[in-house]
């Protein structure tokens, strides 16, 4: 694995990182007669185990001089990506699944077409370069991610194929072509905030303005609480949320709706009539779309299992990387602990609310699938619009 890490780090290094400073002179500095240039005074140790990879006049540069700062800067992320890929390769081998270079090319093409679906294929290279620069991801890291996803997809596909039943296809048909509603919602962590939202609405503030001010859902608050159209059969929305939305009249605001440990006020903006489409005419397209969505979900699940395994079993021998790894794990533990405390607080608020409410709220189902608005295969960093996020 060490050689693999080094090779990828050198590939990262080969990418242009900083442009030359136009303010600096392009000619070499003047050296006094008889004096040695500063660079010529540098000497790199010669070692058979540390080969020279470059020369500049009398200066030699060894592999370790390049690899060491790369390990410090990029090594941990590359190491973890390679570890995930190797576990995926091992899992595929155990299942006697072959992955060819053509499979990896297909995975790359599929990913790019989903990331840049409105663009022409000839524009993919430039768009990818811009995307990676914005996300601070190197091309070798992206290629590792593609390879890993390819192996995970090949593992997931047989699992998914047997789960595509006629019943699931019909549910997808109803979700896509049945009656839909467009709503706005204000999501709050407790009933006190819900009461404040109701007060502001009663005082004449618009629903979207209150949503921007009080909603704790980071994806929909900035949109004034607006969600994309969804049907009664849409995944990603708790049943109690959908039932409340479909029970409203246009312009009406619901009472408090509890779902997945948080509270919502819902306003119905629009009802969209069902589309006149024959099931048999779209059945194969539905099968393809459902297969892709379930495959993506299964890939995420397998990847999470591999990451968990790495967290428990990975031993890092390099001292610098070992410290970075321990720091990363400590940071993750702190984040998880903070989330647990927040969830516990929400549960306590819910318990107090239940004691004060004559009728208990309907139980919320743990539906965590991505809503149709995000589409299958959303690119890394694509925001979700789940109302209970």
Residues 147 and 188 in one domain: no
208: its two tokens: 């979207």
Quickly list H helices, 58-206.
63-70, 76-94, 101-115, 124-135, 139-161, 166-177, 191-202
Report pLDDT digits (tens) over 243-294.
999 999 999 999 999 998 999 999 999 999 998 899 999 999 999 989 998 9
Q: Does the pLDDT at position 298 exceed 60?
A: yes
Residues 78 and 153 in one domain: yes
Residue 239, SS3? helix
Residue 77 sits at φ, ψ, to 5 deg, of -60, -45
Report pLDDT digits (tens) over 202-223.
999 999 999 999 999 999 999 9
Residues 250 and 378 in one domain: yes
> Would you say residue 229 lies in a domain?
yes
Residues 7 and 123 in one domain: yes
The whole-angstrom separation of Cα 230 and Cα 176 is 8
Residues 262 and 351 in one domain: yes
Residue 195, SS3? helix
Residues 149 and 224 in one domain: no
Report pLDDT digits (tens) over 88-131.
999 999 999 999 999 999 999 999 998 998 899 999 999 999 99
Q: Cβ of 177: how many Cβ atoms within 10 Å?
A: 18
The count of structural domains within the chain is 2
Whether 380 and 259 have beta carbons less than 8 Å apart is answered as: no
What's 360's domain CATH number? Answer: 3.10.50.40
> Would you say residue 28 lies in a domain?
no
> Would you say residue 258 lies in a domain?
yes
> Would you say residue 19 lies in a domain?
no
Exposure on the CB side of residue 183, measured as CA atoms within 13 A: 29
First to last CA, the chain: 38
> Would you say residue 301 lies in a domain?
no
Q: Cβ of 355: how many Cβ atoms within 10 Å?
A: 7
> Would you say residue 361 lies in a domain?
yes
Residues 350 and 257 in one domain: yes
Q: Residue 182 belongs to what domain range?
A: 178-276+339-389
**Which of 135, 161, 187 is the last residue in one of the domains?**
161
Whether 249 and 269 have beta carbons less than 8 Å apart is answered as: no
Residues 252 and 375 in one domain: yes
Q: State the pLDDT at residue 18.
A: 36
Residues 147 and 218 in one domain: no
DSSP H or E stretch at residue 376: none
Report pLDDT digits (tens) over 130-189.
999 999 888 989 999 999 999 999 999 999 998 999 999 998 898 889 999 999 999 999
Phi-psi region at 8: left, alpha or beta (left = phi > 0; alpha = psi -120 to 50): alpha
Residues 127 and 189 in one domain: no
Residues 112 and 252 in one domain: no
Q: State the pLDDT at residue 9.
A: 54
Closest CA to 262 of 360, 343, 372, 368: 343
Exposure on the CB side of residue 106, measured as CA atoms within 13 A: 9
Report pLDDT digits (tens) over 302-342.
999 999 999 999 999 988 899 989 988 888 777 655 555 65
């Amino acid at each position: 694995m060490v050689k693999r890490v080094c090779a990828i780090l050198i590939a990262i290094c080969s990418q242009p990182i900083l442009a030359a400073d136009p303010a600096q002179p392009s000619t070499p500095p003047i050296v006094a007669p008889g004096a040695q240039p500063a660079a010529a005074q540098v000497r790199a140790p010669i070692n058979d185990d540390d080969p020279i990879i470059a020369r500049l006049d009398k200066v030699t540069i060894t592999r370790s001089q390049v690899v060491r700062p790369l390990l410090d800067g990029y090594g941990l992320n590359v190491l973890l990506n390679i570890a995930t890929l190797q576990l995926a390769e091992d899992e595929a081998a155990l299942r006697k699944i072959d992955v060819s270079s053509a499979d990896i090319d297909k995975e790359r093409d599929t990913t790019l077409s989903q990331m840049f679906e409105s663009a022409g294929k000839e524009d993919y290279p430039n768009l990818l370069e811009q995307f990676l620069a914005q996300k601070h991801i190197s091309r070798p890291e992206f290629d590792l991610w593609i390879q890993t996803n390819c192996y995970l997809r090949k593992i997931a596909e047989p699992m998914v194929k047997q789960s595509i039943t006629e019943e699931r296809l019909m549910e997808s048909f109803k979700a896509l072509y049945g009656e839909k509603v467009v709503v706005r919602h204000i999501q709050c962590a407790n009933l006190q905030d819900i009461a404040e939202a109701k007060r502001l609405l009663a005082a004449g503030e618009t629903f979207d303005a209150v949503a921007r001010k009080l909603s704790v859902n980071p994806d929909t608050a900035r949109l004034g609480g607006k969600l994309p159209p969804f049907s009664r059969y849409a995944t990603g929305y708790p049943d109690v949320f959908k039932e409340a939305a479909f029970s409203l009249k246009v312009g009406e605001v619901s009472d408090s709706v509890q779902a997945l440990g948080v509270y919502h006020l819902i306003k119905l903006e629009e009802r969209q009539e069902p589309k006149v489409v024959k099931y048999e005419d779209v059945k194969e397209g539905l099968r393809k779309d459902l297969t892709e969505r379930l495959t993506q979900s299964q890939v995420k699940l397998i990847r999470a299992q591999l990451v968990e395994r790495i967290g428990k079993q990975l031993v890092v021998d390099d001292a610098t990387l070992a410290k970075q790894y321990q720091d990363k794990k400590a940071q993750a533990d702190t984040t998880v602990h903070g989330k647990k405390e927040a969830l516990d607080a929400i549960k306590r608020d819910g318990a107090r609310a239940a004691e004060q409410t004559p009728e208990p709220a309907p139980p919320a189902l743990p539906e965590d699938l991505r809503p149709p608005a995000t589409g299958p295969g959303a690119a890394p960093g694509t925001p979700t619009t789940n109302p209970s996020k």
